[in-house]
Chain A
C-alpha cells in the first residue's frame, strides 16, 4: 500500500471540507518520480531526477467549485487546505448563475497498476545513459550535422483518490519514452530529422522494453543521413493541390489537434474559450454531423495497452472506458467530465485528469485513435497512388481556436509518381479545414501499419497543465489537399 499513511489525511481533507460546508469533496495525493536524460553532440547534457509529492482538495460549496493544494504533508496543513478550498468555492459562488451538477458515478474502490515488462527504474543507470550515448554517436558518424540529440524519460506516478461519495482508489502508472534527432545547417537552411517521432521523444505507458524495442542505435544512421540530404532536397511544391499520404507519426498529431481537442466537451461548452478556445463540434452536432468520410473511425479508449491515456480510473473516480468519437465518418462522442456530462444528461466516460497534485483535474484526451482501415500497407497505398506527396514526422503545427483551419509542416516528404516513392522533398506543409480534410480521406492503412504514439506535452488550462495523451494511427491518404504554404 503506497499510501498507508496518507489515506487518513485524505479522508481528513474530505471531512474537513464537509464540515466547512462542502456538499462534495475529494482529496488526491500524488507522488511523481521522473528521470530525464539528454545527450547532445556527444556529451551528457542533462540528467535530472525529480520527485514531487503533495495533495489537492477539490470541493463544491454553495453550488460552486473551489480547489487548493499543498506539498506540506501534515494534519494541520490538510485542515488549512480543505478550509481554503471551501473559502474559494464560496467566493466562486458570488458569481454563479446556477449550481454545479455532477453526473452520478458509482463509488469505486480498488487498485490499478500499469502492466510493464521491465521496470524502467530497475535498469541500471549506466545502461540507460549508455544507450543515449551510443545512439548519439551513431548519428555523429554521418558528416555534415550541426546538432545531435538523444533523450529518454522514465516516469512513475502513484495516486490516491478519496471522495465524499465513498471512492477510494490507488493507482501506479508507469511511462517510458525515448527519441533521437539530427539537425543539419547550411546555405540558409536548417533541417531536422527525428526518430521515432517529433518533439524529442515518443512515450508509452510501458516499461523499459518500450525504449529497447525502438532500437535508437539501429535507426540513428538513417535519421542522420536524411537530415543532411534534406539540405539539398527539392523544395515542396508551393501552393498547389494534390494527393497527400500522411505517415503514422504525423497523422497521430493531426488526430490529436483536429479531433482530440474539438471533442473535449468543456471546449464545446465554452469553459476553455479564453485560452485554448472552443470547438466547431457543438452539442447540436452530436450524432448528426459528418466529420469525415466513411473511412474515418476514431476511438476514445482509456483501456488500450501502452496508451498514455490508459489507467484504471480518471481523477474523478470514473472507470476507464471505450467508445467512439467518430464512427463511419459521423461525430458521435465527446470526452466528458461528470459536470459536463450532466449538462448533456449523460454520464461521464472518465476523461478527467490533473497534472500532478497541484492542479485542478480537467477534461483531457485519454487515447484518441484513428482506427485501422482496410487498405493494406503503406507500400501498397503508395503503389495505388498515381501522383502525390508522402509526408511524415511533425515539424510544425497550428490550428484555429475552434479547431477548423489548420496548417502542419512535416520534417520530410517524398514525391509519389506512378505508384512509386520518388525524390525527397524538404519543408513540406499542408493546410485545410478539419471536416473537408477528413472528408477527403479515401484510404486508411490496416492494422499492420497502426502504432500507438504518445504525446507527453499537451498543454491546457490556467494555470497551465501538461497532459500525456495517447494516439494510435496508421498512414492514410487524402485527396485534393493544399500543400506548400511557406513564404
Chain B
C-alpha cells in the first residue's frame, strides 16, 4: 500500500476550497505524511510504529491583520470551520504594519522527482528484515546495536487567492545505528529517497568496524587540536550555520554574515542552497508556494547571500528566494537544500595529511553559546581518535568542545570529495549534503569519562 494519502487533484481541491471558503486574501497548505519507523536497541526491535497524519493550514489576511488556523480535520466541514475561524482571527487581530500581503503566483520550475514507490510501499516486514541484517552482524561480533530504519512518505501542497498552486510528493528512507562494545561505540547513517539505495550491510560494516577500533579509549588532555571531521560532524556545522544564513537572522543582528556580504567569513569553502540537486531531495517551491532558487551563500570563503521568505524580503527590501518555512514565531526561512561543495581528497587522505590531531565521528547535544559569533558547545560521540603522523593512533575519551563554527571553517585545510546526504530530522529543517573536512584548529574545552 502506498504511503501517499492523497492525489494531487484531491489536495488541490482541499486547498482551493479552503481559500474560497476563507474569502478575500487567503492561503491554504496541506502537509501530509505517512511515517513508518522500526526502532531497535539491545539487539532487538523494541519500538515499531506507523502513522498517517495530514494537516491543513489556513492563513487569512484582512488588510494588515493576519490569522492562522491549523486542523487535521480535512473533511468538507473541517475545511469550512478552519477557513471561517482563520477569517475570524484575522478580523480580530491587531494590524501588523509590516505585513506585505500574501505572495504572488510565479512560475515554478520543474525539479527532479524525490519520490520512490519502493519507500512509500515498504511493509513492516521490509523494515524488520533489513534491521535484522544489522542486528545479526552485531550479535555475531558480540556487540550491541541500537538505532532505527524508517520509510516515510510526504506530500506538500499550497494554494493562495493570488493564484499560487504548488504540489510535490517525496519519500525518505533512513537507517541510523550506534554500535556499542567494550568501552567504545561507533555510528553509521544512510539516507536516500529510495529504500533500495539504503545499503544496510555497508552501514553495519562501518559501525561495527569502527566500534572495534574504538575499544578502550584513552584519556587525552583537552585543548586546541587539528581535526578531521567525518561527514556526520560536518552536518552539524552545516545545520547551525544554515539557521543564520537567512535574511531574518541578518535583520535581527544574529548572523555572522550580517554586514559582511562580499567579505571573507570562512576558509576556502563554497556553500550553496540547491533545491534542484537530484541527490538532495529536490523541491522547487517553499511553504508559501514561491519558486525556490539556487542560492550561493558562501563562495570560496566569501559571504555572498542569504535566503529569504516573502515577508522578510519585503520588510528588508529584498526579494524572496523561495525559502519560507511554514509561519511560526521562531524562524521564517531556512536554506533547506544545503550543500558544501566537495573537494578532491578521500577521507583517508585527509587523515594521512595530519601530523597530530583528532578524528571526530560526530557531535552530540550541540547548542548555541553565542549565536552571533557562531560559538557552539557540544560533545564528541561514537568514535573519537587520536591521529599521529597520518595514522589513527588510538581511540580517546569524548571531549566537550566550545568553538565558533565559522572560525573553525576559517582554518579549512582539506575538503573531502565524497558528499553524504543528511535528511531533515524531527528537530531540524531541510536536507544537507556535506563532505568530511580537515580543519587547522578546534577547541576542545573539557572531557568526559568514557
Selected contact of A49 from candidates B55, B89, B135, B398, CB within 8 Å: B89
Kindly name the residue among B85, B95, B367 whose own CB sees the greatest number of chain A CB atoms within 10 A.
Answer: B367
Q: Show 13 A/B contacts (Cβ-Cβ < 8 Å), sorted by A.
A: A43-B99, A47-B93, A51-B72, A65-B46, A91-B45, A92-B124, A190-B253, A271-B41, A274-B178, A404-B449, A405-B448, A464-B427, A486-B402
A95 at interface, CB cutoff 8 A: yes
Please indicate the chain B residues that have their CB under 8 angstroms from the CB of A40 in the complex.
329
A49 to B93, CA, bound (A): 13
CB distance from A96 to the nearest CB of B (A): 5
Selected contact of B375 from candidates A51, A183, A360, A486, CB within 8 Å: A486
CB distance from A431 to the nearest CB of B (A): 6
Please indicate the chain B residues that have their CB under 8 angstroms from the CB of A114 in the complex.
none
B415 at interface, CB cutoff 8 A: no
Complex contact B369–A396 (CB within 8 A):
yes
Residues of chain B from 368 to 406 with CB closer than 8 A to chain A in the complex = 368-373, 375, 377-379, 381, 398, 400, 402-404
Residues of chain B from 305 to 350 with CB closer than 8 A to chain A in the complex = 327-330
A463 to B174, CA, bound (A): 12
A379 at interface, CB cutoff 8 A: no
Contact surface of A with B, Cβ cutoff 8 Å: 36, 38, 40, 42-54, 56, 64-72, 84, 87-92, 94-97, 125-126, 129-130, 133, 146-147, 149, 151, 183, 185, 188-190, 200, 269-274, 277, 358-360, 395-402, 404-405, 407, 409, 427, 429, 431, 433, 459, 462-464, 485-487
A74 to B312, CA, bound (A): 43
B147 at interface, CB cutoff 8 A: yes
Selected contact of A183 from candidates B40, B49, B252, CB within 8 Å: B252
A125, closest chain B residue (CB): B92
Selected contact of A50 from candidates B67, B70, B98, B381, CB within 8 Å: B70
B203 at interface, CB cutoff 8 A: no
B195 at interface, CB cutoff 8 A: no
Please indicate the chain B residues that have their CB under 8 angstroms from the CB of A462 in the complex.
37, 39, 47, 148, 150, 426
Please indicate the chain A residues that have their CB under 8 angstroms from the CB of B140 in the complex.
none
Please indicate the chain B residues that have their CB under 8 angstroms from the CB of A272 in the complex.
41, 146
CB distance from A63 to the nearest CB of B (A): 10
Selected contact of A190 from candidates B38, B67, B96, B372, CB within 8 Å: B372
Complex contact B402–A54 (CB within 8 A):
no
Please indicate the chain A residues that have their CB under 8 angstroms from the CB of B142 in the complex.
none
A353 to B131, CA, bound (A): 26
Please indicate the chain B residues that have their CB under 8 angstroms from the CB of A405 in the complex.
379, 398, 400, 446-449
A395 to B73, CA, bound (A): 38
A395 to B150, CA, bound (A): 34
Please indicate the chain B residues that have their CB under 8 angstroms from the CB of A65 in the complex.
46-48
Please indicate the chain A residues that have their CB under 8 angstroms from the CB of B427 in the complex.
459, 464
B51 at interface, CB cutoff 8 A: yes
A359 to B443, CA, bound (A): 39
A96 to B125, CA, bound (A): 14
CB distance from B61 to the nearest CB of A (A): 12
Complex contact B73–A463 (CB within 8 A):
no
A125 to B92, CA, bound (A): 8
Complex contact A88–B50 (CB within 8 A):
yes
Please indicate the chain A residues that have their CB under 8 angstroms from the CB of B369 in the complex.
395-396, 407, 409, 427, 429, 486
Please indicate the chain B residues that have their CB under 8 angstroms from the CB of A97 in the complex.
42-44
B110 at interface, CB cutoff 8 A: no
CB distance from A283 to the nearest CB of B (A): 13
A49 to B177, CA, bound (A): 38
Please indicate the chain B residues that have their CB under 8 angstroms from the CB of A398 in the complex.
365-367, 377-379, 400
Complex contact B446–A407 (CB within 8 A):
yes
**When each residue 438-449 of chain B gets 1 if its CB lies under 8 Å from chain A and 0 otherwise, what string results?**
000001011111
- Evaluate whether A49 and B329 lie within 8 angstroms (CB atoms) in the complex, with A69-B51, A94-B125 already known: no
Complex contact A146–B124 (CB within 8 A):
no
B128 at interface, CB cutoff 8 A: yes
Complex contact A36–B329 (CB within 8 A):
yes
Complex contact A91–B70 (CB within 8 A):
no
A289 to B367, CA, bound (A): 30
Kindly name the residue among A151, A274, A399, A407 whose own CB sees the greatest number of chain B CB atoms within 10 A.
Answer: A274
A91 to B149, CA, bound (A): 13
Selected contact of A68 from candidates B50, B73, B367, CB within 8 Å: B50
B254 at interface, CB cutoff 8 A: yes
B180 at interface, CB cutoff 8 A: yes
- Evaluate whether A463 and B37 lie within 8 angstroms (CB atoms) in the complex, with A146-B252, A185-B253 already known: yes
A235 to B275, CA, bound (A): 42
Complex contact A70–B51 (CB within 8 A):
yes
A36 to B93, CA, bound (A): 13
CB distance from A461 to the nearest CB of B (A): 8
A358 to B37, CA, bound (A): 12
CB distance from B5 to the nearest CB of A (A): 9
Complex contact B327–A400 (CB within 8 A):
no
Complex contact A487–B375 (CB within 8 A):
yes
Selected contact of A67 from candidates B41, B49, B53, B135, CB within 8 Å: B49
Selected contact of A95 from candidates B86, B132, B450, CB within 8 Å: B132
B127 at interface, CB cutoff 8 A: yes
CB distance from B441 to the nearest CB of A (A): 10
Complex contact A400–B329 (CB within 8 A):
no
Complex contact A95–B368 (CB within 8 A):
no
- Evaluate whether A400 and B71 lie within 8 angstroms (CB atoms) in the complex, with A71-B54, A274-B176 already known: no
Please indicate the chain B residues that have their CB under 8 angstroms from the CB of A146 in the complex.
252-253
A89 to B48, CA, bound (A): 7
A147 to B312, CA, bound (A): 14
A72 to B450, CA, bound (A): 47
A151 to B330, CA, bound (A): 11
A89 to B45, CA, bound (A): 9
Selected contact of B445 from candidates A56, A90, A487, CB within 8 Å: A487
B13 at interface, CB cutoff 8 A: no
CB distance from A105 to the nearest CB of B (A): 20
A287 to B366, CA, bound (A): 32
CB distance from A457 to the nearest CB of B (A): 10
A66 to B86, CA, bound (A): 37
Selected contact of A46 from candidates B51, B329, B366, B449, CB within 8 Å: B329
B80 at interface, CB cutoff 8 A: no
Complex contact B253–A129 (CB within 8 A):
no
B352 at interface, CB cutoff 8 A: no
**When each residue 403-439 of chain B gets 1 if its CB lies under 8 Å from chain A and 0 otherwise, what string results?**
1100100000000000000000111000000000000
Complex contact A44–B148 (CB within 8 A):
no
CB distance from A68 to the nearest CB of B (A): 5
CB distance from B367 to the nearest CB of A (A): 5
B66 at interface, CB cutoff 8 A: yes
Top 7 nearest A-B pairs by Cβ distance?
A: A464-B426, A185-B253, A38-B329, A91-B124, A50-B70, A273-B146, A274-B146
CB distance from B90 to the nearest CB of A (A): 8
A32, closest chain B residue (CB): B72
A409, closest chain B residue (CB): B369
Complex contact A188–B372 (CB within 8 A):
yes
B237 at interface, CB cutoff 8 A: no
Complex contact B364–A401 (CB within 8 A):
yes
- Evaluate whether A431 and B446 lie within 8 angstroms (CB atoms) in the complex, with A89-B48, A400-B398 already known: yes
CB distance from A289 to the nearest CB of B (A): 14
A66, closest chain B residue (CB): B48
